């Protein structure tokens, strides 16, 4: 009984760390493009290019260093890596709050990308303290903490940003350092000494999983669909603050509220709709539906004439990639043999990281060009139109390659 209570208390502690960390990220997110624009003398087009490059630099640092931090957590324990991550995020927000130039802003984002390991390390922490049959529930709780942090963070950050552009970064820094102190005194280590393993560079390779998955030929169409859809889905994440500010002249508070609603749709879809829709229509049809709806949604985002209209579109988006993504992951999981499931998770993480590096420069670059004087026509929704084409390409590949049998029957795949 005491052990059970201790485990529940530790789960609550690590979820609190994840929530507060995500709250800090959400606080700063609506204001970063505006801060870049301030450094660029108010130029919206140039600020959009730079913001995309900043987002790519952040993601690149995570892609390169996240596997190393994971390997370090296997060697030295989860607690020190989580604490180092919180310290790095606190420094990042402090730099953003006080940055006198764009160079300092770049430095802060590089630090944030290098140290941003609290989410993945928290998942490893829960795996350490949770029985295998309970881990899915624990991972779901991390997703809920992540989602609720992104609901509350942008809303509060937008409100604070209307008071002062730098204030949300100061608050986020304070939250990160408070989280660091909380974790230092309250969060115990989860990885027993006898379960630790030596640090090896081979385990810190960020592209190893992608190379390994090529052995399974039948996985390649699924992987291609997943890559294209993940890349297309980055358009909203990277251009939303820029687009809504330019098109609808929203304040920081209005942008923060819209991002909070995005968090709500994520929690509703991932926490509830997936369990209803995917079993009812099957994984294959859920992928088709999600890709088609996503293409429609991004086009609607680009053409709606008034800001309030994006909220009904968000409701339609509940049946988009947010539904198709877990269906695609489930289908890929059933295509691989049981002893390769860890490989799949490595592939998914690598795809997300690569798309997070490639997506921001492409989508913000398209947006920046079509709101600049060089464009033949001002089209602030051009990036959304480009995203729709990529979603439709993914749908065409899915329709061509995902037969009914492949989607509904577990396949034992032989390596190529």
What is the spatial distance between Cα 351 and Cα 61, in angstroms, rounded to a whole number?
15
Residue ranges of alpha helices (H) inside 130-193 are 135-163, 167-186
Q: What is the pLDDT of residue 411?
A: 40
What is the spatial distance between Cα 24 and Cα 152, in angstroms, rounded to a whole number?
10
Q: What is the pLDDT of residue 413?
A: 41
Q: Which of 270, 319, 277 is nearest to 297 (CA)?
A: 319
CATH topology of domain 1-188: Growth Hormone; Chain: A; (1.20.1250)
Local confidence pLDDT in tens for the 416 residues of the chain: 435 556 677 777 777 777 777 776 777 777 778 788 887 776 777 888 888 888 888 878 877 777 677 777 777 888 888 888 888 888 888 888 888 888 888 888 888 777 765 666 777 777 777 776 565 556 667 767 777 777 888 888 888 888 888 888 888 888 889 888 888 888 788 777 777 777 666 556 666 656 666 666 777 888 899 999 999 999 988 899 889 988 999 887 888 888 888 888 877 887 678 878 888 888 889 999 999 999 999 999 999 999 999 999 999 998 998 888 888 877 876 766 654 555 565 567 678 778 888 888 899 999 989 998 888 999 999 999 999 999 999 999 999 988 654 443 434 444 43
Q: What is the pLDDT of residue 410?
A: 39
- The token duo for 398 is 């899915």
Domains 1-188 and 205-411 equal at CATH topology level: yes
The structural domains of the chain, with segments of one domain joined by +, span 1-188, 205-411
**For residue 379, is it left (φ>0), alpha (ψ between -120 and 50) or beta?**
beta
Q: What is the pLDDT of residue 206?
A: 65
Q: What is the pLDDT of residue 44?
A: 72
Q: Assign domain 205-411 to a CATH class.
A: mainly alpha
Task: Spell out the residues 6+ positions from residue 144 whose beta carbon is closer than 8 angstroms to its own.
Answer: 267, 271
Task: Spell out the residues 6+ positions from residue 140 whose beta carbon is closer than 8 angstroms to its own.
Answer: 271
Task: Spell out the residues 6+ positions from residue 72 whose beta carbon is closer than 8 angstroms to its own.
Answer: 81, 199
Q: What is the pLDDT of residue 382?
A: 95
**Contact in structure between 283 and 333 (CB atoms under 8 Å):** no
Mapping DSSP onto H, E and C, the string for 307-356 reads HHHHHHHHHHHHHCHHHHHHHHHHHHHHHCCHHHHHHHHHHHHHHHHHHH
């Amino acid at each position: 009984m005491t052990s059970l209570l201790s485990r529940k208390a530790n789960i609550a502690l690590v979820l609190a760390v994840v929530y507060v960390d995500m709250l800090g990220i959400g606080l700063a997110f609506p204001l970063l493009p505006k801060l870049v624009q301030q450094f660029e003398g108010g130029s919206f087009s140039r600020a959009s290019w730079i913001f995309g490059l900043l987002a790519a630099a952040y993601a690149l640092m995570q892609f390169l260093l996240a596997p190393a931090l994971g390997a370090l957590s296997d060697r030295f324990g989860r607690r020190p890596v989580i604490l180092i991550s919180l310290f790095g995020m606190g420094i990042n927000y402090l730099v953003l709050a006080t940055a006198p130039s764009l160079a300092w802003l770049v430095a802060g984002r590089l630090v944030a990308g290098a140290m941003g390991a609290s989410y993945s390390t928290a998942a490893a922490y829960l795996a350490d303290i949770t029985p295998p049959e309970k881990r899915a529930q624990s991972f779901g709780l991390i997703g809920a903490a992540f989602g609720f942090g992104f609901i509350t963070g942008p809303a509060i950050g937008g409100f604070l940003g209307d008071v002062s552009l730098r204030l949300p970064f100061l608050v986020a820094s304070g939250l990160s350092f408070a989280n660091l102190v909380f974790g230092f005194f309250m969060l115990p280590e989860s990885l027993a000494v006898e379960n630790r393993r030596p640090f090896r560079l081979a385990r810190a390779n960020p592209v190893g999983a992608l190379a390994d998955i090529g052995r399974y030929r039948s996985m390649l169409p699924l992987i291609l669909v997943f890559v294209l859809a993940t890349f297309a889905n980055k358009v909203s994440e990277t251009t939303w603050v820029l687009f809504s500010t330019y098109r609808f002249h929203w304040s920081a508070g209005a942008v923060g509220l819209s991002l909070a609603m995005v968090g709500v749709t994520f929690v509703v879809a991932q926490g509830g709709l997936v369990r209803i829709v995917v079993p009812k229509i099957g994984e294959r049809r859920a992928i088709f539906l999600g890709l088609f709806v996503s293409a429609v949604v991004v086009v609607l985002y680009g053409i709606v004439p008034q800001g309030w209209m994006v909220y009904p579109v968000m409701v339609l988006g509940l049946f988009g990639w947010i539904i198709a993504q877990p269906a695609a992951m489930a289908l890929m999981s059933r295509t691989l043999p049981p002893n390769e499931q860890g490989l799949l998770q490595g592939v998914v993480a690598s795809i997300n990281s690569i798309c997070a590096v490639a997506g921001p420069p492409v989508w913000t670059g398209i947006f920046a060009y079509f709101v600049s004087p060089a464009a033949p026509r001002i089209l602030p929704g051009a990036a959304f139109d480009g995203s729709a084409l990529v979603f439709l390409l993914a749908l065409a590949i899915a329709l061509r390659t995902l037969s009914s049998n492949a989607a509904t029957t577990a396949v034992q795949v032989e390596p190529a």
